[in-house]
Amino acid sequence: MGLPRFVVSAGLVKRLGGLSLAATVEIEAGSTLALVGESGAGKTTVLRLLAGLTAPDDGHIAVDNQTWFDHKSGVSLPTWQREIGYLSQDYALFPHLSVFENIAFGLRAQHVDGPQIRQQVEAMLFRFDLEELKTRKPHQLSGGQQQRVALARALVLQPRLLLLDEPLSALDLKTRRSVRAQLRQTLASLPGATVYVTHNPMEAIVFGDRISVLESGRVTQNGLPDDLLRHPRSAYVAEFMGVNLLRGSIAAAEGGGLVRVQTPFGAVIAADSGDVGEVLVALSPREITLHLTPPAGSAQNVFFGPIVELVPEPPFGDRIRVALATSPPLVAEVTRHAVETLRLREGLEVHAAFKATGLVPYR
């Protein structure tokens, strides 16, 4: 039915220090956009621009057809008039107020009636399992508890746009796992849009209905997690998603449903997708098999080189990621069993083989 209706639509331009940001952010109602990128790529700046805590140099922000910012017409709604929820990395709970008063803060600021405030805050305390802690001060809480208070404090105002800045990064690993499951449920039930900033691939995939990748202030890719996995558009995206990415060109189809992709490191044989010219080829580490002797078989592509690193994935998991100093450098993922039978170790030279059918060029 026509064009997709974006609940949040923003074009943001800002020069700040060494960063030159020019990014488009679009989020549908009820969905979460995971915003990923390295430190200094501008993730937090995007959140601050959306929140109105930093003024854009140019651009526009519209939420539910309401203009929050428009450089051309000079509209700029102050932060306190934007219906947002904002969790900074350290949560910024008010140190002089109890848990109850922290959650009640926004309602009081809006002059909600006393009994209503009590009722809504109590509901939040119940929902986030904070009832026992309501008279505590923030410095008497654990990291996970502080995170829940910060979330309750923001959500009690029913924001149209929830901005989360690495909400799990301040937590230790053990807490992170339980909080992550809780947060996933909470976000799934929200009617508004959410921006979830993270540099953790797993969080991006778990939380993001879509993922936007920010590199040096530019969105280099925006899509479903699956798009990014299958068709990464930059070396950073490929590394973030844990897949191999090759850049090359196709002169002409080879016939038999195969093409020769000429890369700076030599040619690879790939499936014919109909594309010619400059292309990208993504290769899942699981498509690569490792051999001690040249493999005889159906794999059209074989590269030879030493093992650089063996990393279990996930930590202590069944599968091992094997980084290879082949040309081009590749990452393979094999079972722990394979590592043991082949006695794979750092420095060992191996043949890495993969089939053409696992490679689909795209532009």
Partner 1 sequence: MSGRVLAGRIVTALAVSFLLVLLVLPVLALVLRAPVSDIVDRLSEPLVLAAIRLSLETSLCAAALATVLGLPVAYLLATREFRGKHVLEAIIALPMVLPPTVAGVGLLLAFGRAGLAGRALGVFGLSIPFTTTAVVLAEAFIAAPFFIGAAAAGFREVESRYMDAAATLRAAPVTAFVRVLLPLAAPSVLAGATMCWARAIGEFGATITFAGNLPGVTQTMPLAVYVALQTDLDAAIALSVLLVLVSLTILVAVRAFPFGPAALRGQRRAG
> Is the CB of 153 or the CB of 210 nearer to partner 1?
153
Comparison of 72 and 96: residue with beta carbon closer to partner 1:
96
Q: How far is the CB of 95 from partner 1 (least distance, A)?
A: 5
End-to-end CA distance of the chain: 28
Return all residues near 196 (Cβ < 8 A) that are at least 6 apart: 32, 33, 34, 35, 164, 167, 187, 203, 204, 207, 208
Q: Which C-beta is closer to partner 1: that of 66 or that of 110?
A: 110
Least distance in angstroms from the C-beta of 54 to partner 1: 10
Which SS3 state, helix, strand or coil, does residue 228 take?
helix
Nearer to partner 1, 90 or 172 (CB): 90
Nearest distance, CB of residue 21 and partner 1, angstroms: 19
Half-sphere exposure for 261 (CA within 13 Å, toward CB): 29
Instruction: State the minimum distance, in angstroms, from the CB of residue 275 to partner 1.
Output: 46
Q: Shortest distance, CB of residue 93 to partner 1, whole angstroms?
A: 8
Beta carbon of residue 242, minimum distance to partner 1 (angstroms, whole number): 34
Question: Nearest approach, Cβ of 175 to partner 1 (angstroms)?
Answer: 17
Residue with smaller CB distance to partner 1, 117 or 204: 117
Taking each helix axis as running N to C, give the angle between helix 114-127 and helix 143-155, from 0 to 180 degrees, rounded to the nearest 10: 140
Hey, which bits of the chain come out as E strands?
8-16, 19-27, 32-36, 58-63, 66-70, 75-76, 84-87, 161-165, 193-198, 210-215, 218-223, 244-255, 258-263, 266-271, 277-283, 289-291, 301-313, 319-324, 330-335, 349-354
Residue at token pair 């009690």: 156
d(CA 326, CA 305): 4
What is the closest distance, in whole angstroms, from the C-beta atom of residue 22 to partner 1 in the complex? 24
Contact 333, 339 (CB under 8 A): no
**From CA 34, how far away is CA 207, in angstroms rounded?**
7
The Cα–Cα gap between 43 and 240 comes to: 15
Identify the DSSP state of 236. Answer: H
Pick the closer one to partner 1 by CB: 90 or 226: 90
Pairing of strands 319-324, 330-335: antiparallel
Cα separation, 53 vs 37, in Å, equals: 21
Nearer to partner 1, 82 or 210 (CB): 82
Which residues of this protein are in contact with partner 1, per CB under 8 A? 51-53, 78-81, 83-86, 88, 90, 92-96, 105-106, 108-110, 137-139, 153-154, 157
For partner 1, the closer of residues 159 and 232 by Cβ is 159
